[in-house]
Every structure is written in C-alpha cells, then in structure tokens.
Chains A and B, each alone.
Chain A
C-alpha cells in the first residue's frame, strides 16, 4: 500500500466519524430542547392555573429570549458549531439569525444597518412560509368547494 491510498483511507474514516458525531449531537441537542420545553410546560400546567395556550406562549417567549441573549453575548455561535442543526431547526435558529444579522450590521447605523438587515437571513423563512401557506389555503378552499 502506498502513501496516497493510505491517506485516502484515513480521510474516509475521519469523515464518517465526523458525520456520525454530527448526527448524534444534532439528535441529542434537538431532542433536549423539546424535552426541556415539555418539562417546563408540564411544570407550569400542574403548579399554576395558567391556561395551556398561554403556557406554550410563555415557553416560546423564554426560548426566543434566551437564544437572542446568548447570541448577543457571543456564546451562541460556539453552541451552534457544536450542536449544528439541533439548534438551527428549532425556533432558537430563527431568533439567532435575526439577532446575529442585527448585531453584525450595528456599526452601519440604525436605518441602513440594523433596519435594513434584521431579516437578512430570516427573511427567506418568512417569505416562503407565507407564500406556501397562502397557496395551500387557496388550494384547500378550491378542493373543499
């Protein structure tokens, strides 16, 4: 076996190893967010007399607040590097993208910086989900008519 093929084999193994670690961390961190949110929900429902809709809203608010805060103090980028999609797909990813683009463009001023760039990354989510839901509502109405 010459040096090059050996290197290639090592590289392949490393890649596979990295993939599996990414999958595990995404699964565990994503699951943990759902698990913790559900725990909080059960605690709020059982200990106070807040209605279930309000309890869900409070937890969503808390998640968004924590994600924005961690992004602003600069910790969230490291967390995302470790957990990857586990933090991108939940609402934390949405809050992170809004806060990080706002904080990146802060030095360019309030209007041209923050104002025109807050939805720099999150804009695509808002745009396509509104278009998609709009078309689906129309489709549903046509089908049921």
Chain B
C-alpha cells in the first residue's frame, strides 16, 4: 500500500510543479525554492512527518524534505539548547543531502569534462 501512496504523492507534487511552470512566469529555480519553503511550512503545521509515515520514500525523495528537515532539526536544537542550539543544529539533519551533493559532484567533475 505504501508503494501506491509513494507513487501518488511524489507524482502529484511533480504535477503541481509542472502546472506552475507551464502557466506562470516562474522558472524551475523559483519552483524548487518555493517547494522547499512549502516543506518547512508543512513541517511547521506538523504535517510532513505524517506524510512521511504514510508515503515513505515518496515524500523523502522530494526537495520539500530538505525544508522540513531544516525546520525539525532547528526546533529540536532550540528545545535542547536555546537560541545557540537553533544556530548550531539547524543543518544537522539535512547535512546528508548537502555533503553528498558536494562530494559526488566534485568527484564526477574531476573525472568528466563538459561536453561543449
């Protein structure tokens, strides 16, 4: 069952993004920023964890998960250590995405050349 939910959730989010790109002047850059902020807003209302419980990887693969994990880690840091905790803990959960994109892209950029 979670397979169907994963398919539907990520499909519908991509469909909404496609509709926004086709019918407004927003570019893919706008849309990805918008969706990551929407992810943290959904986490603010406590929705995103429920969606992850239901749709599993369908929700985690999306860019909204970046925003929501930033919010969750920041709030946890604030509860543990006040405003200093907020600053020091904010990136802890999304460190995986940032570090791995930088490392992998650097490795592949060193190996391959631009085509044109």
Chain A residues within 8 Å of B, Cβ to Cβ: 19, 22-23, 26-35, 37-42, 56-57, 59-61, 63-65, 68-69, 71-74, 84-86, 88-95, 97-99, 102-104, 106-107, 114, 118, 121-122, 124-126, 128-130, 132-134, 136-137, 139-141
Q: Are A94 and B32 within 8 A (Cβ)?
A: yes
Closest-CB distance, B28 to chain A (whole angstroms): 5
Of B3, B14, B22, B61, the most chain A CB neighbours within 10 A belong to B14
Task: Count A-B pairs with CB separation below 8 Å.
Answer: 233
- A34-B57, A85-B21, A133-B74 as given contacts; A114 in contact with B97, CB under 8 Å: no
- Chain B residues 13-49 with CB under 8 Å of chain A are 13-15, 17-19, 21-22, 28-29, 31-33, 35-37, 39-41, 43-44
Q: Are B61 and A33 within 8 A (Cβ)?
A: yes
